[in-house]
Each structure stands twice: as structure tokens, then as C-alpha cells.
Structure 1
Amino acid sequence: MNAALNEWNAMALLQEERPTAGATSNAPRWNVPVKASVLLQLFPLLEATSVVLLSMLSGMVFDLVSFGHFGEYGRNFGLGVVVAALFSTSAHARGLYPGSEPRWPASQIKEVVLIWTAVFLGLSVVALTLKVGDIFSREAVLLFFVAGLGGIIFARLGAKRLFASLTTSNVLAKPQVVIVAQSDVRSLSSVVQAIKASGSDVCQTITLPPASSEAAFLECMNKLVEHVRWRSVDEILLAANWADISLIEKITGHLCMVPIPVRLLPDDIVSSLLKRPFVNVGGTRAIELQRAPLTVSQLLRKRLFDLLLTSAALPFILPLLAVVAALVALESKGPVLFCQRRVGFNGRPFKIYKFRTMTILEDGAVVPQACRGDPRVTRIGRLLRRTSLDEIPQLWNVLKGDMSLIGPRPHALAHDSEYSQIISFYTARHKVKPGITGWAQINGWRGATPQVDMMIRRVEHDMWYVNNWSIWLDVKILLLTIPRVWTGRNAY
């Protein structure tokens, strides 16, 4: 066995010295720190237990404050069990419990809040339907809602820090990974770095011999199996060309005898595809190469959002519209409103309405962008453009359905034609309706774009909005628009 292990470097790139067969008895497989996966299996149970305890504690505190003594804890115990069961089941379904590695992404907190709220809303509906709501005090339930949500968030953030501390202090053992790679894999170093960054240790990196050398390949596989048997290896990662099906099948055939997972890493081509969403198509799964426009349900929600907010704001905005219209008419001759053709949803042109801010009305094949000190801009127009008050008439475009409150800003036909030839992904921003304000505008990409790079950055922000749309994102953009408009300096 020692002689065989001494020949390992002839076929594999070893990053640490291998133990001999005689040395394995002094370093048994189980003589390692506690595995993180063992503790992670207990986390859902501990979290559910804390929910039950917080339910009982909330009821006891409420009774003590309200009546001066502890009341019956049985009802609160039952409520806690039901809430814990519903929350844990929903959290498992949404993948909010880490598997074998201690990962709690910050984005999970939002889902935790939504699930916790949905559980209480659902139970409230059931209680009203069954007319059993009087059994529980509303104040005690509200206290439990706040305490339980705070406890769950605190436990998850605390567990994340605790696992990081335990891993750093070597109390928790890092998963030991062996990478088996073809010699022509170019991204192997980045793969190793990504695995280490995730909290695992790459204890071995093995380079396979050429495919033409069958004897060397068999000997390499046999020694790999022997190595895994006598070392504490948790996982084998295979970095190979996905087109080489015969090699992948040969390797999995040899490794089927070891009781640890063997996973195939994506190659350079597949890696870019796997970053895209997966969708179910019949009995199989497909990779979504391009996201379709918003679904019917999403379009309906966005349209209702636009109509409700616009209708509610109009009574308060009408006096402002009258004042601005009077100022525009008094300063210079010409129409109060300026109409210009813009490119909208699916590339269809429409007429946009704005308060006139210039002494001329341009809507031809060439429309120069306004710049600092532009002589075409009137004094009132400069103030309107600076504060974006000239955009208020576009609420009529929203009511008509040409625009949305939130979306990529529409450009003049001349600008749209120009940039669509320069920026390859420019036209993809027309997958949603244009908006009065948007993600690009609150991130500083508002106003003139004299350089192509500036327009590229604006379009990149527009595309991020298209690919990540939600009602909550629209609310966030709407709330941030006013402070960003008043502090912005790029509108002339």
C-alpha cells in the first residue's frame, strides 16, 4: 500500500501528504471536530421550540401586566405549536433552512417576515370563520406576533455569527472536499477559491491522466477510492467537460462504491447557463434563456397599482398643475403642454405629455439633449426640469395606459434609434411599459447622457428593474424618487 501511494504524484496533483495504510489506525475517520451539518439538523427543532416558548411567555406577560397574575398557559402553548408547525413547514418548503452548510442569506429575512405574517393572517381568517377568536386576547396575540418574529430573526442572525465563530475557532469541522479535474479545465483555480469561500476545505485536487491512457486512469481511480476510504472526505467534485459523457460515466462507475456524494461541476459553457432561472416544462426542466414580459397576474397588479395611486393623487395635484400651467403661459408664448413621440412598450411609439420648458418644440429626426446653460430652456422651464415638475402631465399617460408610474424612462424616437444601434441590449428595456420614474433615475442616472457609457449604465439599471420587478420594488422606487430628485444635479 505504501509503495502504491508513493506513485500517486505520477498521475495526480496532490496538495497535502497522504497517510500510509499503517497510519490510518492512529487517525480514525471520526476523530474530527463536530460537523456543522449535525448542528444544522437541530436548528429547525430549536427554532420551533423557541416559537412555542415565546407564545407561552407572551401570554404570561400579558396576563401579568393586565391582571396581576399568570393565566392559563395551555391555550398559548397550543397556539405556539400550531404557529411553529405552520411556519416550519412553510420555511422548509421555501428552502429557508440551511442543509449541510451554515448559510443564512440576508435575503431570507424578507421571506421569514412574509411567511410569519401569512401564518398569522391565515390563522386569523380561520378564527373568524370558526368564531373562536374570543378565546385569545388580541393584545396577547399581537405581542406574540412581534416577539416571535423578533426572536426568529435574532436567532437566525445569531446562528449565522455563531457558526462563523465556531468555524473560525475550529470547533466546527469544515467539509472536506476532493476535486477531480481534467487537465484542460481552465477555471479550476476560481472553482477552488469559490469552494473555500463557501466554508469548505479543498483537501485534495487531483488531475486526471490523459484519456488515452486507460491503465493510468484505472490506477488513478483505484487510488482515489482508497484515499477516500481512509480519509475524512465529505464530498467529491468532478470538474470535467460536460460533452465528454463517456468520461463522466466511467468516473461515476468507479466511485459508486464510496458512500459519499459525487457532484459534477458546471463547465465554462454550462456555468453561464445555470445562472439563469429553471422552469418546469411538462415532465422536465428547462433553462430560461430570456424572461418573458410580466405575467397576466403581474400586469394586473402593476396596472391596479398605477390606477389607484394616480387616481388618489390627482385631487391634490390639480391645484399644482394649474399654477405651473399659468407660470408657463405667462413667461413665453406657445402651448402650455409639449407633446413628443416616445418609444413605449414593445417598441410601439406614443405621445408623451410634458409642461413646455423650452422656447422651441422639437420632435424630428434629430433632437439634441438639453445641456447645462441650454439657451432653449426658459427660466421657469429650468426650475421645472430641475424638480421634474414638468413630468406631472404624464399622469395622463399613466391613466391612458401608455405609461406606468415606475419603469424605464421613455426616450425620443431619434435617441431610441441612435442608441439601439450602439447598445446591443438597448431594446430589451421595452419589455415593460415606460415610467415617470425608474430604478435608473433613483440611482443617479437621470437627465442628459452625453457619453455612450452613461447611457449603457442607465440601460443596465433598466434591465435590472425588468428582471427583478415586484410591487415592493415599485413602492421602494416611488418613495425614493422625491429625495433623489431634489438632491440630483444631472437635469438641465
Structure 2
Amino acid sequence: MNEIHDHLPLPNIKPNSVALLFKRFLEPSFVVSYLWLITKIERQPFSGDYWVLAIMAFFASSYIFGEMHGRRLRRNPKSVRWIVPIFIDWLLVVAVLAVLGYVCELYSLFTVKIIVPWVIGTPFGLVVSQHAQSRVMKDMRTKGDIEKAIIIGVNPASLKLAERLADYPALMLNLMGYFDDRAVGRQPEGTYTPLLGKMSDVAAYVREHGINRVYISMPISAQPRVLQVIDELQDTTASVYFIPDIYIFNLIQARFDYVGGMAVMGICETPFTGINKFVKRASDIVLASIIQLMLLPVMLVIAICVKATSPGPVIFKQRRYGLDGEEIVVYKFRSMTVMEDGGSVQQATKGDMRLTKIGGFLRKSSLDELPQFFNVIQGRMSIVGPRPHAVAHNELYRKQIKGYMLRHKVKPGITGWAQVNGLRGETETLDKMRARIEFDLEYLRRWSLVFDLWIIIQTVRMVLKKENAY
């Protein structure tokens, strides 16, 4: 249950306006100002070309800094852990500007002696800005310029919300305590915020102490009491938020939507809907096509070696489960003397006697997976996603691991989040397979194009190290 609650979203909690002011306006303004300063130092006119660059840099940094800020509000930064994300965010901005500059053919309009110091020096200025932001928000907290919040109901969801409020000081929310009709002795362990009273005491406490936010975390069975509290809170100025008890479930891409004007909440959905579906497919086609063209000579050499060293076909075809649990045919260079695809499939193990003369090398270097880029171009697979398992393995593990089939809400991938976390190759125990599934589901929750690129980079690193592949 704790693993489930670790993935609870932050319901209706937005970054503080001061923090967003820094990220959306002040820091982008610093980016532009620093560019202007360098041009003055170099005695270059801040011409129309630099104005175009400044505008693109402002909006790119405003968007990227603001979007990433919501994911990086954690407390207690230690050593360089809070500095590294700043450099990563700036590299993303530079990458966006580089792509725009290439597409618009703007490279020749700027001098190296201005662009290089700007690119190198800006993140250090952003570090100073981040430190200034922390000091400002600390002063605001000291002066009490923060919102007050209470939680109605003591249960796993409300305890996790309290933990999040403590973990994200940039939200500028001070949790005063809980209200619950249950006795103190019946509260779950870990309740470190005081119990202030019963539900009947909420409205009076809100008025007396100027509470800004009320979070209601009660089961649906308590509807009459909840409705009474909400009715009483209408006589206050507090904002009221409801934390539905569906958060006890394993949520995947949970979000609110509207069907014919009626609000519904999705609790288990693929991340690839709308524009995300287009972005994912476009990136797959572009990357797979480039990789295929680059590695075509290598694939021809491998095909000749496979044919020359053992009897049988060059390509091994195996049935796997794809998107929505539908069967697909996955291609690999044959690395074994057998071609198992029946009701029982034995995983490859270290020192497996079924390997061909070059099979061990192909599997350890992952070169046997190269034909799967054709699967990507066909639309059966993606470059990054949960690794497809043999149909026989799926039928076995879906009965033993809860949520196993949720990994099929997306297309299977050539590499995945589980593989770059050390779960590549053989999964000889149920615990290892369960751990792999946890990482697959985490990928569904966290997906972004940047996350995909990060997994690809980590995959290349692991392939070069040749870990856990037999």
C-alpha cells in the first residue's frame, strides 16, 4: 500500500505565485539581460537579430523553467543536488534555441564571442537567482506571509498529502492540523500533525484562525457529514478541496476530464493521448529511421554471420503482447539454436547451452534487438516502453503479479525504464519480475519526451558496459 501512496498526485496544489514569478518572469529576464550585458561588454550593437534571440530565449526559458519547477520543489537540497537541475533546464533551453536557430538559419547572424559566454555563464547566474528565491521565500515564511491549511479526515491519503505539504515548502502552505471524529487512539501511525477537533468544529476554527484552504479526505460513505461541513464552510472565505478516496488505487495518468459537460476522473489511462500520441509516434519514426540508416551495414554483417555460423533463419520471430494486449510479431536476430514460441518458453540464462557461436555476443551487446527498429517503423513497437515478454510468460505472470497487464496500455519498447535500472535480461525470480513491472508502471506515470531521451542515453551506457544480458 505504501508503494501505491508514493505515487499520489498533489490534488489542487499549485506552485506558489512568488516561485512562479521567479521562474516565469524574473529568471527569463535575467537570461535576456545577461545577453544584453555581454553585447555591451563586447561593444556590439544589440540589433534586431539579438532581439529575436532574446525573445525566443525569454519564452523558451519561461516555459521550461516554469514546467520543470512544478516537479522540482523538493525541500532540503543537499550539496549539488539542487544545482544540477538548473543546468539541465538551461541545456534544454539551449537545445530548443539551437533547433530554432538551425531551422530558421540564424547561426550566421551571431558572433561566437557573445553566444559562448552567454551559454556558459547563464546557468551560474541562475544558481544565484535560485539562492535569492530561497532567501525571499524564507523571509516570507518568517513573516508569516503564507497560506494556512487544514485537513479533514485522518487516513493514508491525507497523511500522504501532509507529507507532500512538508516536502514542498515552495508551495507556501502551512498545515495547521487535522479534524476527525475518530478518537486519537484510532489514528493511523505516522500522524505528526495535531488533531485539532471534530468535524463539527471545522467552520468555527476556519473563521477564527483565518484558514485559507480546507482539504477534505473522507470516504464516500461519510457523505452526509461531508455535505454538512461543506455547507457550513460556505459561511467562510476558505477554498475547499476534496481528495476522493480513489487515491487508494494504483493511479496511472490520473486526470479530470469532461464528457458532454459532465466531470469525470480517469484513474488509469495511457499517457499517449492527443498531442502526446503524435509526439511519441513522430519521435519513434524519426529516431528509428535515422538509426536504421546508420546501422544498416552493421545489420548486414550480423545477418551474414548468423547464417554462416549456424543452420536456420537469420531473423527469429516471436509472438509478444503489444498495445492493449494484442498479439504482435517481434523480430530479432536469431541467437539460439532453438526458436521457442509455444506455450512454454525458457528464458535465456548465463552460460545457456542453446546459444549459437555468436549468440552470446549478440545478446550481451543487444545487437540481436536491432531488427526491432523495423517493428517501430511498422507501428507495433516504440523505441522506449515496457519490454515485450513472450506470450507464454505473459500468461504466467499476469496471474501472479497485480497490475501486470497495465504495462500493455502503451506499445512495448526496445528499451525501457526497468532495463536502465538493472532489470535487463533474465528475471529468474518472481520478485525480479515484480520489480520490473513496478518500473514499467512508473514509466507510464512519468512519461515525457525528455524522459524517453534520458532512457535512450542510459541504455547506450549500459549496453557498452554489457550488464545482465545473456
Q: TM-score, normalised by structure 1?
A: 0.66
Q: Which residue of 2 aligns with 1:369?
A: 347
Give the distance between the partners of 2:95 and 2:303, measured in 1 at CA. Answer: 46
After TM superposition, the structure 1 = structure 2 runs for residues 63-212 of structure 1, keeping only pairs within 5 Å, are 63-66=40-43, 146=119, 150=123, 153-154=126-127, 157-162=130-135, 166=139, 170=142, 175-177=147-149, 195-199=165-169, 202-203=175-176
* Aligned match for 1:44, one of 11, 21, 40: 21
Q: Which residue of 1 aligns with 2:376?
A: 398
Tell me, yes or no, if the aligned pair for 2:39 and 2:46 is still in contact at 8 Å.
no
Give the distance between the partners of 2:61 and 2:282, measured in 1 at CA. Answer: 33
Tell me, yes or no, if the aligned pair for 2:320 and 2:388 is still in contact at 8 Å.
yes
Tell me, what secondary structure is at the counterpart of 2:299?
helix
Deviations 1:431-470 (A, max 9, x none): 3322222222222111111212211222222233334433
* Aligned match for 1:459, one of 407, 424, 437: 437
Question: What is the RMSD computed on CA atoms of the aligned residues?
Answer: 5.1
Tell me, what secondary structure is at the counterpart of 2:264?
strand
Deviations 1:41-76 (A, max 9, x none): 598389846755764564354234236xxx689x89
* Aligned match for 1:419, one of 375, 397, 413: 397
Tell me, what secondary structure is at the counterpart of 1:154?
helix
Tell me, what secondary structure is at the counterpart of 1:410?
coil
Tell me, what secondary structure is at the counterpart of 2:240?
strand
Corresponding residue pairs, total: 432
* Aligned match for 2:263, one of 260, 279, 285: 285
Counterpart residue type for residue 65 of structure 1? E
Give the distance between the partners of 2:396 and 2:430, measured in 1 at CA. Answer: 10
Q: Which residue of 2 aligns with 1:483?
A: 461
Give the distance between the partners of 2:54 and 2:268, measured in 1 at CA. Answer: 43
Larger displacement relative to structure 2 (472-481 or 49-58):
49-58
Q: State the Cα distance separating 1:158 from its structure 2 match.
A: 1.6
Tell me, yes or no, if the aligned pair for 1:360 and 1:376 is still in contact at 8 Å.
yes
Counterpart residue type for residue 487 of structure 1? K
Tell me, yes or no, if the aligned pair for 2:272 and 2:280 is still in contact at 8 Å.
no
Counterpart residue type for residue 63 of structure 1? K
Q: Closer, same or farther in 2 for the Cα pair 1:273/1:362, shift >3 Å?
A: closer
Q: Which residue of 1 aligns with 2:363?
A: 385
Counterpart residue type for residue 321 of structure 1? M
Tell me, yes or no, if the aligned pair for 2:270 and 2:410 is still in contact at 8 Å.
no
Give the distance between the partners of 1:482 and 1:319, measured in 2 at CA. Answer: 19
Could you tell me which runs of 5 or more consecutive residues in structure 1 were left unpaired when the two chains were aligned.
1-38, 211-218
Q: Which residue of 1 aligns with 2:303?
A: 325
Could you tell me which runs of 5 or more consecutive residues in structure 2 were left unpaired when the two chains were aligned.
1-15, 184-196
Tell me, yes or no, if the aligned pair for 1:58 and 1:147 is still in contact at 8 Å.
no
Q: State the Cα distance separating 1:88 from its structure 2 match.
A: 10
Q: TM-score, normalised by structure 2?
A: 0.69
Q: State the Cα distance separating 1:484 from its structure 2 match.
A: 0.8
Counterpart residue type for residue 161 of structure 1? S
Counterpart residue type for residue 62 of structure 1? T
Structure 2 residue 386 is the aligned partner of structure 1 residue 408: yes
Give the distance between the partners of 2:297 and 2:231, measured in 1 at CA. Answer: 77
Q: State the Cα distance separating 1:338 from its structure 2 match.
A: 2.4
Counterpart residue type for residue 157 of structure 1? Q
Q: Closer, same or farther in 2 for the Cα pair 1:142/1:232, shift >3 Å?
A: same
Q: Percent same amino acid among aligned pairs?
A: 27
Q: State the Cα distance separating 1:421 from its structure 2 match.
A: 2.5
Counterpart residue type for residue 420 of structure 2? I
Counterpart residue type for residue 291 of structure 1? E
